[in-house]
A and B are shown apart, each in its own frame.
Chain A
Amino acid sequence: MAKLIVTTREGETSEVEGERGISVMEILRDNDFEVAAICGGCCSCATCHVYVDEEWMDKLPAREEDERELLEELESFKDNSRLSCQIEFTDDLDGLQVTIAPDE
C-alpha cells in the first residue's frame, strides 16, 4: 500500500492508504472525500478535479485530449489541475499530494 496525501477544500490535510491499480478518484471516493465523481471515472464531468502538488506533476502520465479539454474550461483551472479519475495510483506515486479543487 502506498500513501496518498489529501488536502480538502476546507484546508485540512490527511493521509490515506491508496490501493494500487485504482484511480486517485476512487481512493478519494472510498475515503469519503468530497469529490462528486458523477460520471464514475469516464472523464465526462470534471467533478473529480484536484490540484497535484507541483513536484509530482512530472511523475504523472500526461493528460489525454478529453481531460485537457475539460479541465481547461474550468474557472478553477491551474497548471497543476488534473481529473483524479485519470490518474492511476501506483507504487511510484507513494506520497502523492493532491488538493481537492473547488466545486463548480
Chain B
Amino acid sequence: MTDTFIIVGAGQAGGQAAATLRSKGFEGRIVLIGEENYVPYERPPLSKAFLAGELPVEKTFLKKPDFYDNKNIELRLGRRVVAIDRQARTVNLDNGESIGYDKLLLATGSRVRKLTVPGAELSGIHYLRDIADVEGIRAAMKPGARLAIVGAGYIGLEVAAVARKLGHEVTVVEALDRVMARVVAPQVSAFYEKVHREAGVDLRLGTGLTAFEGDGRFEQLRLTDGSAVPGDLAVVGIGIVPNVELAQEIGLKVDNGIVVDEYGRTEDPDIFAAGDVTNHPNAILGRNIRLESVQNAMSQAMAAALAMLGHLEAYNEVPWFWSDQYDLKLQIAGLWEPDDEIVVRGDMESRKFSVVYLRDGAIAAINVINNMRDFLPAKKLIEAKSKVDPARLADPEVPLKEFLTT
C-alpha cells in the first residue's frame, strides 16, 4: 500500500508543498484540501495588479490547473476540514468524507482580523484576503466611488495607491501616528506619507475608528476625533490572525501560531506545518517568529515537504517582503526594531534609495526603494552579521557587496 500525504490548506504553502513532494519523487497519494474554489494562487498581486484590473485571475495561479491532474495530486476545493483524529490518523471534511493519512501538513494560513466596532455588520465594508474579496471590492469601485480605508499597513496603502491611480477619492484612517508602523522606521513612514498625500490621499494618522455608520449600508466612518469620513465603500486592512484552531483542537502546541522546528515538524512525528500559521525558529534572527509572507510560505513549505519525505534540510532564511505603491517598489529584508540605528543610502527626494538598519554595528534589516541593487547584498550582509562602518555605508556610491569582503 502506498502512503497518503494530506495537505490542509491550498494556499501558496500548501500548493508549493504538493509540488515539492512530487518533484522530489514522492509517488504516494497526495490530497490537497482548500476552502476556496481556486487552485493555489499567489496572494501578493491581489492588492496590486489584480485589484487594478491589470491581471487576469489565471495569472495569479501558482501552477496551471491541469498541473494537479498531471501530477496526480487530488484536489478537494471548496472543502473544509472539520476534524482531525491523530490516533486514527484521519481527516474529516465538511461533506462527510474521511481520508486516512500517513503524513499530514497543516498549511491553514491566516484570515483577516475583523473590526467589532458598532456598524461592523453593515454591507459595503470590505476586507482583502482572497480573490473573492478583491472581486467584491472591484465591483464596488464604480467610477467616482469614494474609498474609506481603515489601516495604513501594506494592504491599506496598496489599495489606496491603486484607487488613486484609477481616479477614486481616497481617505486612509490609521490609529497609529504613522504609516506601516509595524514594519519600517519613522523616516520611511514619513516618506510614504508624503508620497500618498502628494498623490491626493487624505491621510488621517493617529485617528481611531469608533463606528461604521449608515442605514443598512456603509455610508461613513466615525472617528475618535468626532469627525466623519463619508465613502461609497470601506476597505479594512488591520492585519491577519493565524488559523490555528484545528491544531489546537488536536492538542498540538500553539503559541502565536503552530509551533514547529526548523524543518516544519510539530511534536507529532506525522504532522507538519508551514506558512503564515507557524511559529518557527530562525537561527539568523536568533529567535522564534511567525511570518506573514510569501517567502516564508514558499520556502518553509519546501522544507516541510522534504521533512515529510524524511530529508531534513533546515529552513533558515532572512525574511523578506515587498510592497508596490504607485511607482515605488519597496523591498524589505530583515526585521526592523525601534532601537536600530538608521543609515540612508542615496537621496530620498530622488525616489531611489535604501534605508539600512544597524544593530550592534551590523546590518539587521534594509528597506530598498526603487533601488534593487542593494537588495541581494543586504540579505547576505544580514545573514553574515558582519560589522560595517556607518559612514562608508552612507555613501551610495560604495556598493553594498564591498562590505561582504571586509
Contacts and interface: CB of A to CB of B under 8 A. Distances in A.
Contacts of A44: 322, 329, 331
Nearest to A29: B63
A65 to B, nearest CB: 8
Nearest to A72: B373
Contacts of A39: 44, 294, 322
Interface residues of B, number: 30
A32 B19 contact: yes
B295 interface: yes
B63 A42 contact: no
Contacts of A46: 376
B64 A30 contact: yes
Contact of B377 (A29, A30, A36, A73): A73
A40 B375 CA distance: 17
Nearest to B60: A40
Interface in B355-395: 371-373, 375-377
Given A40-B42, A44-B322, A73 B298 contact: no
Given A32-B23, A44-B322, A38 B299 contact: yes
B372 A38 contact: no
Which of B63, B375, B377 is the most central at the interface, judged by chain A CB atoms within 10 Å of its CB? B375
B44 A42 contact: yes
B191 interface: no
B372 A70 contact: yes
A66 interface: yes
Nearest to A66: B372
Given A30-B64, A66-B329, A40 B44 contact: yes
B299 A73 contact: no
Nearest to A65: B372
Interface string A18-61: 00000000000110101010111011111000000000000000
A70 to B, nearest CB: 5
B346 interface: no
B23 A34 contact: yes
A79 interface: no
B64 A70 contact: no
A3 B245 CA distance: 47
A85 B376 CA distance: 17
Interface residues of A, number: 20
A38 B375 contact: no
A39 B322 CA distance: 9
Contact of B294 (A30, A34, A40, A74): A40
Contacts of B89: none
A79 B42 CA distance: 31
B314 to A, nearest CB: 15
A36 B298 contact: yes
A43 B329 CA distance: 10
Contact of B375 (A29, A32, A42, A73): A73
Nearest to A46: B376
A10 interface: no
A12 interface: no
A72 B371 CA distance: 13
B45 A40 contact: yes
A38 B19 contact: no
Contacts of B42: 40
Contacts of B375: 70, 73
B315 to A, nearest CB: 13
A71 to B, nearest CB: 9
Contacts of B23: 32, 34
Contacts of B44: 39-40, 42
A73 B373 contact: yes
Interface string B119-143: 0000000000000000000000000
Interface of A: 29-30, 32, 34, 36, 38-40, 42-46, 65-66, 69-70, 72-74
20 contacts: A30-B64, A30-B67, A32-B19, A32-B71, A34-B23, A36-B298, A36-B302, A38-B294, A39-B322, A40-B42, A40-B60, A40-B62, A40-B294, A42-B322, A46-B376, A69-B373, A70-B372, A70-B375, A72-B373, A73-B401
Q: Which 10 residue pairs are nearest across A and B when measured between Cβ atoms?
A: A69-B373, A69-B372, A40-B42, A73-B376, A66-B372, A44-B322, A70-B372, A38-B298, A30-B64, A73-B377
Given A32-B19, A40-B294, 19 more contacts: A30-B63, A32-B22, A32-B71, A34-B23, A36-B302, A39-B294, A40-B44, A43-B372, A44-B322, A45-B320, A65-B372, A66-B329, A69-B371, A69-B372, A70-B375, A70-B376, A73-B373, A73-B377, A73-B400
